[in-house]
């Protein structure tokens, strides 16, 4: 284990472990969703904690001898970004970890240390509200899929420690496993400001994917629209209308949207092109199709049925298109409009009673088979048909 010698009012002496190396933080490379538990008041015998979510991404620098990660969240409705810089000294075999954030104009004093197996400890002397303290960071990578960072302060030269912050890391889902069937689905098609789509994709991925999933929304995917450079498309699902209302109230009244919503809205021209749907048959097929992140090319067909022809159209799609796609291993789900009252009018939705939607998923664009129904069949049942083709954005 990293050895530290604490001389009262003197310098820290940190000795590395024999196995300390520049690869010690490789487990942290990539994107994370971070659940935080932070003591409200430090070194005051407090037992009250704040909990909140953040996202982070780590990349290696300095030809592998260092790394940088970000920490993105919101406090009191204001965006907050932190940054950690870690540098490995091959001469001393010690890591130095520096922190800065949007409240600072400098790097904090580095904590210094190393890993012993799955546990890393890092120390420095500092002050907190006028008190001389020792700071300790601890990394626990026993479970590489769910590492834990924690921080402790000591005001008595290391005799006792107060743990004041825990971060619990998990990877954003790639292939999504939903906690319950999707019985309410929003198809959200945004018109973006010119040349703003790619920036919005990154912004949305960084701030809204992990946070929405953590709060109970089911996100089958985010997409760009083929042939329309200024379009962004995403799906959001719920177990029922009651859970949708509860989620929307909490998310749009919560700190993440308050912190980042204004910037997101500034990149859009229109976000009201939203269809509110339910599965035609509650058989789980829709979940199987929507939740499989391997399917990178998505085709959505909107059929505007003639009056009284909706159910006949659905039957024709089942007998002809779905059967044809099933033979080729394509996942297809059929949806109709959810006609319950939109009880969150702040977010308008389209509720067309004779609308039928098919969502078809292909591994790649080359697998696409065109023509859900031939033109004569479409004209028999529908006033018109609109098709949107989507490329899934993978959130790595």
Instruction: State pLDDT tens for residues 1-36.
Output: 557 676 666 678 888 999 999 999 999 988 888 989
What is the band of 361 on the pLDDT scale with cuts at 50, 70, 90? confident
* Cβ neighbours, 10 Å, residue 312: 13
Tens of pLDDT, residue by residue over 281-324, are 865 555 555 756 677 889 999 999 999 999 999 998 888 888 77
3-state SS assignment for residue 364: coil
Q: Which residue has the higher pLDDT, 216 or 229?
A: 229
Query: Where in the chain are the domains?
Result: 3-170, 184-393
Residue that wins the pLDDT comparison between 288 and 365: 365
Neighbours of 133 (CB within 10 A): 20
Question: What pLDDT is attached to residue 284?
Answer: 52
Question: What pLDDT sits at residue 303?
Answer: 94
Range of lowest pLDDT (105-114, 155-164, 179-188, 278-287): 278-287
How many angstroms separate the Cα of 260 from the Cα of each of 13, 108, 207, 255, 361? 43, 26, 7, 8, 31
Name which of 97-106, 225-234, 315-324, 361-370 the model is least confident about. 361-370
Mapping DSSP to helix (H, G, I), strand (E, B) and coil, where does residue 13 land? strand
Torsion, Cα 177 179 181 182, to 10 degrees, reads: -80
CA of residue 137 relative to chain centroid, distance? 26
Range 184-393: architecture per CATH: 2-Layer Sandwich (3.30)
With bands split at pLDDT 50, 70 and 90, how would you rate the model's confidence at 274? Answer: very high
- Residue 395: pLDDT band (50, 70, 90) is very low
Please tell me the pTM assigned to this model: 0.63
What are the residues whose beta carbons fall under 8 Å from the beta carbon of 367, sequence distance 6 or more? 297, 328, 330
> Can you give the pLDDT at residue 396?
37
- Buried-exposed string 54-84: b where 16+ CB fall within 10 A, e elsewhere: bbbbbebeeeeebbbbbbbbbeeeebbebbb
Residue 174 has pLDDT above 60, yes or no: no
pLDDT score recorded for residue 283 = 58
Three-state DSSP class for 87? strand
Residue % of the chain over a pLDDT of 70: 91
Mean local confidence (pLDDT), 233-241:
94
pLDDT given at position 337:
97
Q: What does the alpha-carbon distance between residue 221 and residue 319 come to, in Å, rounded to a whole number?
A: 27
**Overall fold of domain 3-170:** Lipocalin (2.40.128)
- The yes-or-no verdict on residue 271 having pLDDT over 90 is yes
Structural tokens at position 394: 């993978």
Tens of pLDDT, residues 88-140: 999 999 999 999 998 888 899 999 999 999 999 999 999 998 999 999 999 99
The pLDDT assigned to 175 comes to: 47
Q: Please give the mean pLDDT across all residues of the chain.
A: 87
pLDDT at 136: 94
């Amino acid at each position: 284990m990293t050895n530290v010698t604490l001389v009262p009012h003197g310098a820290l002496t940190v000795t590395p472990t024999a196995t300390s190396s520049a690869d010690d933080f490789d487990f942290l490379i990539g994107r994370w969703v971070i659940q935080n538990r932070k003591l409200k008041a430090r070194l005051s015998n407090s037992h009250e904690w704040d909990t909140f979510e953040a996202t982070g991404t780590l990349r290696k620098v300095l030809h592998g001898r260092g790394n940088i990660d970000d920490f993105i969240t919101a406090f009191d409705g204001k965006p907050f970004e932190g940054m950690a810089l870690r540098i490995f000294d091959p001469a001393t075999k010690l890591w130095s970890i520096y922190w800065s954030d949007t409240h600072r104009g400098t790097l904090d004093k580095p904590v210094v240390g190393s890993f012993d197996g799955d546990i890393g400890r890092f120390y420095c002397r500092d002050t907190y509200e006028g008190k001389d303290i020792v700071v300790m960071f601890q990394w626990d990578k026993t479970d590489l899929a769910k590492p834990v960072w924690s921080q402790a302060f000591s005001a008595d030269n290391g005799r006792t420690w107060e743990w004041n912050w825990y971060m619990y890391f998990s990877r954003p889902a790639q292939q999504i496993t939903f906690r319950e069937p999707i019985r309410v689905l929003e198809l959200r098609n945004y018109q973006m400001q010119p040349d703003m789509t790619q920036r919005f994709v990154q912004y949305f991925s960084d701030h809204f994917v992990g946070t929405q999933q953590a709060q109970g929304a089911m996100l089958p995917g985010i997409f760009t629209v083929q042939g329309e450079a200024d379009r962004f498309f995403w799906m959001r699902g719920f177990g029922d209308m009651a859970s949708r209302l509860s989620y929307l109230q909490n998310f749009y009244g919560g700190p993440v949207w308050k912190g980042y919503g204004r910037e997101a809205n500034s990149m859009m021209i229109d976000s009201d092109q939203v269809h509110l749907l339910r599965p035609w048959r509650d058989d789980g097929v829709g979940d199987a199709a929507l939740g499989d992140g391997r399917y990178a090319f998505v085709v959505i067909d909107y059929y505007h049925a003639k009056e009284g022809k909706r159910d006949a159209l659905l039957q024709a799609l089942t007998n002809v298109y779905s059967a044809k796609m099933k033979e080729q291993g394509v996942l297809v789900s059929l949806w109709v409009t959810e006609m319950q009252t939109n009880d969150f009018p702040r977010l308008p939705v389209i509720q067309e009673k004779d609308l039928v939607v098919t969502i078809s998923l292909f591994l790649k664009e080359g697998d696409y088979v065109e023509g859900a129904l031939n033109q004569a069949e479409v004209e028999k049942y529908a006033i018109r048909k609109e098709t949107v083709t989507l490329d899934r954005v993978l959130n790595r």
